[in-house]
Chains A and B, each alone.
Chain A
Amino acid sequence: MSALNIKKGSTSHSAYNLRPTFSDVHETHTLAVIVDNEPGVLARVIGLFSGRGYNIDSLTVAEVDHTGHTSRITIVTTGTPQVIEQIKAQLGRIVPVHDVHDLTVEGPSVERELALLKVGSEGDKRVEALRLADIFRANVVDSTLDSFVFEITGTPDKIDAFADLMRPLGLNEIARTGVAALPRGN
């Protein structure tokens, strides 16, 4: 059970029954924030994090409902339980924010990230890169005689592991999308 004792399905309005302990332990949480897709909304969210000194480990944003004009912002952030609660409450206060979901405590969720890695190498290293890519189920999306661009999808940990392996094999550029996440089941 989480130290925060947050009920499943709680949102920004769940402060009613929260009794967090002021712990020093840092936790990483994935937040899904549903916002009106209007100009400046991302600046408001980012400004909140920079203005109040919170961390952003990763952030992704895109419109998810074209008729309702809502976007989903997925933020991975790190802080003490008290700071995480503050972040959620502060996000909930932003006028164009509809909902804040803490996927880390609201039950199991799936998280995925996409990365593109450019690996330049020749000979054995080139073969080894291709073999490892196969193990990680990465696709080759571009190839020259002395380089590959791999496309890999997975959890951030998996991408980290793949990048670590590619580094000695000639990894010279990496682009990552940041995390997209959804709760499992209904």
Chain B
Amino acid sequence: MTRQMTGAKMVVQALKDQGVDVVFGYPGGAVLPIYDEVFQQNEIRHVLVRHEQGAVHAAEGYARSTGKPGVVLVTSGPGATNAVTGITDALMDSIPLIVLTGQVPTFMIGSDAFQEADTVGITRACTKHNWLVKDTANLSDVLHQAFHVATTGRPGPVLVDIPKDVQFASADYTSPQKAKTSHYQPRVKGDLAAITDLVAAIETAERPVFYTGGGVINSGRAASQLLRELVDATGIPVTSTLMGLGAYPASGDNWLGMLGMHGLYEANMAMHGCDLMINIGARFDDRITGRIDAFSPGSTKAHIDIDPSSINKVISTDIPIVGDVAHVLEDLLRIWKSRGRKTNREGLGKWWDRIDTWRQVDCLAFKQTGPSIRPQHALARLEALTKGHDRYICTEVGQHQMWAAQYIGFEDPNRWMTSGGLGTMGYGFPASIGVQMAHPESLVINVAGEASWLMNMQEMGTAVQFKLPVKQFILNNERLGMVRQWQELLHGERYSHSWSEALPDFVKLAEAFGAKGILCQDPADLDDAIMEMINHDGPVIFDCLVEKHENCFPMIPSGEPHNKMLLGEASTKDAIREGGAVLV
């Protein structure tokens, strides 16, 4: 049965058929026909954001916390260009998004029409794929293919640009089941010979370590479950990138903590000293590797990744396995079990002894002294007071983000939303809105810095309008903390433009939006204030005034390898050498 309908109606129908329940968007001239269709139905809820960048980050939060693709609907020209930062963010972190943009009518394309932009041209480099649909007859096929491409293989954002006349014109609607099949079918099963090589390496390794990443989360809950089974059965230590936190529980026996530039001492030392590194769904990002030529010098490296281009991109791999994490881990476990569940027990025992000596360094230790709240303390208290809750944590970008990753423990996947690859300040607040839309009953907290938070503060309007009780936990040091830290370490303490002189009164700001504001500056008040935030049924801006010149440690100075970590203030003098200074 074919059904004739307008392009605008097709969009809404395709979204329904693809199981979409929430769309984040902002109307404008070139998407009015679609908005008219959105108005005439109740199955899909539309969240009106206050800026298109917010729509994309909210969709990212929704996608990251549910495992489903996020959907964005914005208008042509400025609507599309405002979305570009969010789309790029999603590409870098492999978040599945479907971004629908309006476009000027086909007969006006290229004429510099009002609110015209070459959207597919602009977003070609920041989407996994994009389409300009010039004929309504192709629209439903393209929409279904967009969902397929966004969610298949390595996930990512896709964009469909729909001219206004295509929205008005009618054609036959094709259902997802009848849509043209795409030749885009990335391989999910890993090569069994390579997996067997890896099993053999696991059986004999003296100092193995699992280095896991966002790919485990993206692969779905089964992947995290299989990872846990594998780690616990083999007794091999496991560390994770920023994007992979929660795949293995922070309370697990084999957990070393996050690795990388601001990772834990024991995690980085284990990476440096291991003889077998098993990378599962991570991509050897420069925040992880530090200096490439001194990266884990003595190890055999295995790399499981669904994207062949990730393999051998920066680090030469000895055992490459292209495939989906869940599929590969399933085969890996099966083969390892069938070969007798062997590990090198003696070697592993000694390895754990060494790791324990690194753990004793207790690199995250701090003392809450003095009259002001230290940011580490604020997060440690937030962790302690929210631990038992059904909790989702978002962050902005900067020092607070690293402290959140260090001091908050994640027990499950999809509970941690942060901008890793692109490092987008302004990500966390709209992301928390997307998370709260997907999980209305859960406690959603955005750990923020005041500078990042201000970048998308307009979304307070969204939170209040849609009654989303998101908690904005702002560690306010009146500084761009990470920039300031680098200026201290690298630029002779010349703090060029890294502070804000005219910050708003966040309590009044909250009240101006019709929300609740809480100010806390005394360590003695902190617990009560956090409880007040948790217990308030509605959005809260929590202005936590913290120590202004706190630095984020541990830290691998740029240009240095893992075993050259700085553990605290005493070790920072001349820590970054000339070669490292050019790195970001």
Contact = CB atoms under 8 A, between A and B. Distances in A.
B372 to A, nearest CB: 45
Interface stretch (B15-23, B38-46, B80-88, B117-125): B117-125
B143 to A, nearest CB: 15
A17 B149 CA distance: 26
Interface in A65-105: 82, 85-86, 89-90, 92-96, 98
5 contacts: A20-B312, A40-B132, A82-B316, A86-B313, A95-B182
**Interface class of chain A by DSSP:** helix
A40 B316 contact: no
Contacts of A39: 132
A82 B363 CA distance: 37
Contacts of B322: 13, 15-16
Contacts of B308: 12-13, 15, 89, 92-93
Contacts of A82: 312, 316
B34 to A, nearest CB: 22
A21 B318 CA distance: 10
Interface string B297-339: 0000000000111011100111011100000000000000000
Interface in B151-188: 154, 182-184, 187
A15 B193 CA distance: 13
A33 to B, nearest CB: 14
A43 B122 CA distance: 11
A85 B149 contact: no
Nearest to A81: B312
A39 B120 CA distance: 10
- Among A21, A85, A89, find the residue whose CB has the most chain B CB atoms closer than 10 A: A89
A16 B193 CA distance: 10
B194 A17 contact: yes
Given A15-B320, A17-B193, A39-B132, 7 more contacts: A16-B321, A17-B191, A18-B311, A20-B316, A40-B121, A92-B308, A92-B309
Contacts of B184: 95
A16 B312 contact: no
Contacts of A16: 191, 194, 320-322
Given A86-B309, A92-B309, A95-B129, A19 B124 contact: no
A19 B318 contact: yes
Given A47-B124, A47-B125, A93-B307, A13 B187 contact: yes
A51 interface: yes
Interface of B: 120-121, 124-125, 128-129, 132, 149, 154, 182-184, 187, 191, 193-194, 307-309, 311-313, 316-318, 320-322
B124 A40 contact: yes
B124 A44 contact: yes
Nearest to B145: A95
A93 B121 CA distance: 18
Contact of B316 (A21, A89, A98): A21
A12 B322 CA distance: 11
A6 B438 CA distance: 47
Nearest to B292: A22
Nearest to A36: B183
A95 B158 CA distance: 11
B321 A86 contact: no
Nearest to A98: B183
A163 to B, nearest CB: 35
Interface in A14-69: 15-22, 39-40, 43-44, 47, 51
Given A16-B191, A16-B321, A40-B124, A85 B312 contact: yes
Interface in A131-156: none
A20 B314 CA distance: 12
A43 B184 CA distance: 19
Contacts of B183: 98
B98 to A, nearest CB: 14
Given A15-B322, A16-B322, A90 B309 contact: yes
Contacts of B316: 19-22, 82
A98 B182 CA distance: 11
B149 A95 contact: yes
A96 B183 CA distance: 8
A47 B194 CA distance: 33
Contacts of A40: 120-121, 124, 132
A19 B311 CA distance: 10
B311 A89 contact: yes
B182 to A, nearest CB: 8
Contacts of A96: 129
Nearest to A21: B316
A61 to B, nearest CB: 17
The 3 closest A-B pairs by CB, nearest first: A89-B309, A15-B308, A95-B129
Contact of B128 (A19, A90, A95): A95
A12 B307 CA distance: 11
Given A16-B191, A17-B194, A40-B120, A51 B125 contact: yes
Nearest to A99: B183
A86 B312 contact: yes
A160 to B, nearest CB: 33
Contact of A93 (B120, B191, B309, B321): B309
Nearest to A39: B132
A52 B572 CA distance: 34
A94 B182 CA distance: 13
- Among A12, A40, A43, A51, find the residue whose CB has the most chain B CB atoms closer than 10 A: A40
- Among A12, A15, A47, A51, find the residue whose CB has the most chain B CB atoms closer than 10 A: A15
A172 B528 CA distance: 84
